[in-house]
């Protein structure tokens, strides 16, 4: 018998790398039984990442979901693990110390065994508290090397980083190949280097399949000494997700490794249930193109976990851009044209932005900056003319140390805008917050929950939690899902398509006398099935009719309008004086909030938008005199 190697099913990440939502808690509990009965998994990824926010967005309680979903694996002796973002914990922006500390204690009490912690900049300073708090909360601390490929990100770079994390006290190392662009031989050298530092340290490989390296990479790291390999399962594996358990299992066995048998009856049951969840509602949020592997991803190195949202962003922005093109008498742009232009721009801006590893949230920041640059330059505007504050915080060092040096053009732009670079510990910028949120909950008459789990949820995701408590989140989700399920007139041929629905072909097959319904493929599904977001369905805001008597402030991009950034702020109102560069409102788009700055000055005569309005690029927002 060869060396034993373990498999971990990343059931949470499978969904998050495919579309917008996770299955409901009743669905997760249902599929847990056949996953356990498959008999081949030593670990299952159950929560973390965007799991909490996803539950809140469709009006469910994430704490109840985690407790119920982890219980079957706890009972079966299968280790559960979660993903957390270091300084950012379970969200996209920095989190105070006291909130981070409570998170680890609570997630262990809810049934999560291992905390997989990563810092999006590979700044090990941001992971020290994750290591300390995980161990204090009796979780296993597993720290990540966020893999990307550049002149800076070499095998030696990652081996040195692993050594720092081991010295800091982490108990395991994860090779987090979030874009699947780690070159297999290099990944093998990294694992060998880690084992040379400490031959007993557990190493787990996590690689997405997008560019096509992941199966080979799994074999290389296994041969180099890795202890666990993350896998997915059909009908979601490959593409933007991970390699399928059947492929990896057979490959490793053929290479001489020892693995337990797979109970194929249970595999087919879990696979069938997963397809049922897609057919129920989750498929309406999955773009069929996410099933495709694409070697074009090698260049930009964008991660699998964001490709679902990227395709949605492209579609929505393409519609908006082509409306602008038509208005200006210019030729329309195809989605492929925009995609290639985006990939080229990512490669151009990435070094200028300091080579941040392309992982959440910094992959979104780089992608958003690149996409905004492409859109703005197509309209004859300057590169960097639309950078959100979160991206600036990354550039300025408020999220941690960038691996590379920020380019002079961004340094000069920062100076022009009065922005200062930060050299300190970014955690020091975040004040403790639990007492304030506890007081707010008392004032609202809200229970802080078992083990203060509701307090944590509110402190971690305040806006989404309030929408969940008010019922607004569920109402918005149900309305959106109903619209997506309503057939749309697709073309002049008179055909109809369910908006955004993945409608896979299916067959009933027999396995050892048991009948199962399985997905064959997504081939033939039109790209048009990825429905536009509610923003593209919004009633159009009147176009500018300024004949010199008024001056218009136009929306610089498509998204959702917020009149203020924080609840206590005062919104712009009719009669206010607006100067050049003043912030008049905000637009949330592509997971970041963008300040809308006045490019004209005058007195506000008319406000054509309100909070939570969906708006299109170039729509009129304010009229000034």
pLDDT surpassing 80 at residue 168: yes
pLDDT surpassing 70 at residue 26: yes
pLDDT score at 504:
41
**Could you write out the DSSP letters of every residue in 64-87?**
HHHHHHHHHHHHHT-EEEEEE-GG
> How far is 472 from 474, CA to CA, in rounded Å?
6
> How far is 166 from 198, CA to CA, in rounded Å?
8
> How far is 284 from 532, CA to CA, in rounded Å?
11
CA angle 317/319/323 to nearest 5° reads 115
Higher local confidence (pLDDT), 376 or 309: 376
Work out the average pLDDT over 349-358.
92
Beta bridge partners of 443: none
User: The domain spanning residue 615 has which CATH number?
Assistant: 2.40.50.100
pLDDT surpassing 70 at residue 530: no
Least confidently predicted of 130-139, 279-288, 334-343: 334-343
Work out the average pLDDT over 129-144.
98
525 domain residue, yes or no: no
pLDDT score at 243:
96
615 domain residue, yes or no: yes
> How far is 76 from 475, CA to CA, in rounded Å?
37
Contact 497, 526 (CB under 8 A): yes
C-alpha distances out from residue 216 to 7, 103, 252, Å: 16, 36, 11
Work out the average pLDDT over 535-556.
58
Count of CB atoms situated within 10 Å of the CB of 566: 6
Least confidently predicted of 135-149, 456-470, 480-494, 515-529: 515-529
pLDDT score at 505:
40
Work out the average pLDDT over 3-12.
97
Work out the average pLDDT over 42-61.
95
How sure is the predictor about 325, in pLDDT bands with cuts at 50, 70 and 90? Answer: confident
> How far is 433 from 99, CA to CA, in rounded Å?
7
SS (H, E, C) 119-163: CCCCCHHHHHHHHHHHHHCCCEEEEEEECCCCCCCCHHHHHHHHH
Work out the average pLDDT over 240-258.
96
Least confidently predicted of 33-47, 91-105, 488-502: 488-502
Q: What are phi and psi of 419, to 5 degrees?
A: -95, 140
574 domain residue, yes or no: yes
Residues in CB range of 20: below 8 A, 6 or more apart? 54, 57, 285, 308, 309, 312
> How far is 250 from 526, CA to CA, in rounded Å?
33
pLDDT score at 494:
33
How sure is the predictor about 375, in pLDDT bands with cuts at 50, 70 and 90? Answer: confident
Count of CB atoms situated within 10 Å of the CB of 265: 16
Q: What are phi and psi of 614, to 5 degrees?
A: -85, 135
pLDDT score at 310:
65
Strand, coil or helix: 515 = strand
Specify whether the backbone of 526 is left (phi greater than 0), alpha (psi in -120 to 50) or beta.
beta
Last residue of a domain, one of 223, 256, 283: 283
> How far is 108 from 116, CA to CA, in rounded Å?
13
Of 16, 11, 49, 127, the residue nearest 461 (C-alpha)? 49
Strand, coil or helix: 303 = coil
> How far is 76 from 72, CA to CA, in rounded Å?
6
In the structure encoding, which two tokens stand for residue 93, read together?
């922006």
User: The domain spanning residue 269 has which CATH number?
Assistant: 3.20.20.70
277 domain residue, yes or no: yes
242 domain residue, yes or no: yes
Of 217, 214, 223, the residue nearest 17 (C-alpha)? 214
Work out the average pLDDT over 189-198.
98
> How far is 585 from 597, CA to CA, in rounded Å?
8
> How far is 33 from 490, CA to CA, in rounded Å?
40
pLDDT score at 289:
77
How sure is the predictor about 303, in pLDDT bands with cuts at 50, 70 and 90? Answer: low
% of the chain residues with pLDDT over 70: 87
How sure is the predictor about 311, in pLDDT bands with cuts at 50, 70 and 90? Answer: low
Count of CB atoms situated within 10 Å of the CB of 573: 9
Last residue of a domain, one of 233, 249, 283: 283
> How far is 624 from 551, CA to CA, in rounded Å?
5
- Total of domains in the chain: 2
Q: Percent helix, strand, coil in the chain (nearest 5)?
A: 45, 15, 40
How sure is the predictor about 549, in pLDDT bands with cuts at 50, 70 and 90? Answer: low
In the structure encoding, which two tokens stand for residue 210, read together?
């997008």
Work out the average pLDDT over 89-107.
96
Least confidently predicted of 50-59, 61-70, 298-307, 588-597: 298-307
The residue written with tokens 């050594």 in the block is 163
> How far is 213 from 206, CA to CA, in rounded Å?
12
Tell me the angle at which helices 389-396 and 362-378 cross, rounded to the nearest 10 degrees: 120
Work out the average pLDDT over 324-345.
83
> How far is 406 from 570, CA to CA, in rounded Å?
34
Least confidently predicted of 48-62, 260-274, 318-332: 318-332
Work out the average pLDDT over 467-483.
94
Per-residue pLDDT tens digits for 423-464: 999 999 999 999 999 999 999 999 999 999 999 999 999 999
How sure is the predictor about 500, in pLDDT bands with cuts at 50, 70 and 90? Answer: very low
Higher local confidence (pLDDT), 319 or 397: 397
pLDDT score at 309:
59
State the virtual CA torsion across 517, 218, 142, 13 in degrees, nearest 10: -30
> How far is 510 from 518, CA to CA, in rounded Å?
10
pLDDT surpassing 70 at residue 140: yes
92 domain residue, yes or no: yes
Last residue of a domain, one of 283, 314, 330: 283
pLDDT score at 619:
86
Residues in CB range of 493: below 8 A, 6 or more apart? none
> How far is 272 from 506, CA to CA, in rounded Å?
10
Work out the average pLDDT over 144-167.
95
pLDDT surpassing 60 at residue 532: no
> How far is 469 from 104, CA to CA, in rounded Å?
24
Contact 245, 7 (CB under 8 A): yes
> How far is 138 from 125, CA to CA, in rounded Å?
21
> How far is 303 from 364, CA to CA, in rounded Å?
9
- The model carries a pTM of 0.81
Work out the average pLDDT over 220-246.
96
266 domain residue, yes or no: yes
Least confidently predicted of 1-15, 250-264, 322-336, 573-587: 322-336
> How far is 58 from 480, CA to CA, in rounded Å?
10
Residue 89 domain boundaries = 6-283
Of 491, 57, 535, the residue nearest 316 (C-alpha)? 535
274 domain residue, yes or no: yes
Average pLDDT, the chain: 87
pLDDT score at 498:
35
Contact 227, 310 (CB under 8 A): no
């Amino acid at each position: 018998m060869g060396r034993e190697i373990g498999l971990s099913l990343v059931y949470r990440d499978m969904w998050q790398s495919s579309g917008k939502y996770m299955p409901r808690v009743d669905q997760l509990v249902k599929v847990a039984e056949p996953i356990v009965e498959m008999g081949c998994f030593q670990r299952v990824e159950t929560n973390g990442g965007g799991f909490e926010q996803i539950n809140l967005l469709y009006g469910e309680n994430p704490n109840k979901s985690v407790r119920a979903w982890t219980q079957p694996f706890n009972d079966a002796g299968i280790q559960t693990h979660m993903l957390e973002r270091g300084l950012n914990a379970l969200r996209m922006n920095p989190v105070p110390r006291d909130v981070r500390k409570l998170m680890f204690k609570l997630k262990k009490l809810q049934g999560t065994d291992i905390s997989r912690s990563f810092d999006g900049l590979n700044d090990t300073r941001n992971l020290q508290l994750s290591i300390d708090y995980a161990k204090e909360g009796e979780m296993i601390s597993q720290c990540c090397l966020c893999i990307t490929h550049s002149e800076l990100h070499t095998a030696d770079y990652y081996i040195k980083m692993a050594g720092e994390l081991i010295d800091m006290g982490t108990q395991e190392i994860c090779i987090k190949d979030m874009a699947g662009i780690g070159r297999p031989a290099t990944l093998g050298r990294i694992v060998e280097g880690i084992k040379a530092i400490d031959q007993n340290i557990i190493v787990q490989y996590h690689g997405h399949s997008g560019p096509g390296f992941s199966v080979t990479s799994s074999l290389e790291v296994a041969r180099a000494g890795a202890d666990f390999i993350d896998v997915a399962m059909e009908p979601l594996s490959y593409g933007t997700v991970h390699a399928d358990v059947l492929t990896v299992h057979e490959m490793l066995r053929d290479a001489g490794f020892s693995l337990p048998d797979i109970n194929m009856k249970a595999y087919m049951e879990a696979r069938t249930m997963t397809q049922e969840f897609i057919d129920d509602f989750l498929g309406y949020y999955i773009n069929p193109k996410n099933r495709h592997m694409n070697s074009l991803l090698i260049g930009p190195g964008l991660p699998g976990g964001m490709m679902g949202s990227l395709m949605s962003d492209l579609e929505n922005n393409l519609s908006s851009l082509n409306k602008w093109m038509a208005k200006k008498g210019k030729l329309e742009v195809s989605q492929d044209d925009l995609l290639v232009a985006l990939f080229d721009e990512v490669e151009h801006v990435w070094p200028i932005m300091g080579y941040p590893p392309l992982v959440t949230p910094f992959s979104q920041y780089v992608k958003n900056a690149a996409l905004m640059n492409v859109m703005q330059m197509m309209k004859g505007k300057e590169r960097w003319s639309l950078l959100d504050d979160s991206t600036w915080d990354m550039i300025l060092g408020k999220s941690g140390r960038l691996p590379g040096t920020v380019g002079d053009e961004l340094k000069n732009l920062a100076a022009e805008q009065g922005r200062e670079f930060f050299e300190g510990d970014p955690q020091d910028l975040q004040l403790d917050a639990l007492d304030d949120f506890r007081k707010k909950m008392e004032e609202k008459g809200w229970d802080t929950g078992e083990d203060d789990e509701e307090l944590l949820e509110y402190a971690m995701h305040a806006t989404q939690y309030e929408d969940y408590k008010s019922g607004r989140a569920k109402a918005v989700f149900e309305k959106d899902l109903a619209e997506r399920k309503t057939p749309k007139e697709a073309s002049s041929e008179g055909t109809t398509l369910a908006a955004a629905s993945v409608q896979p072909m299916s067959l009933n097959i027999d396995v050892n006398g048991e009948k199962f319904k399985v997905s064959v493929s997504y081939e033939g599904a039109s790209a048009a099935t990825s429905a536009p977001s509610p923003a593209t369905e919004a009633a159009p805001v009147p176009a500018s009719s300024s004949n010199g008597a008024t001056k218009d402030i136009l929306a610089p991009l498509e998204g959702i309008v917020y009149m203020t950034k924080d609840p206590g702020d005062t919104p712009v109102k009719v009669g206010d004086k607006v100067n050049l560069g003043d912030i008049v409102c905000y637009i949330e788009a592509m997971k970041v909030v963008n300040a809308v700055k006045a490019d004209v000055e005058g007195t506000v005569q008319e406000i054509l938008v309100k909070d939570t309005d969906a708006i299109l690029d170039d729509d009129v927002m304010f009229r000034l005199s």
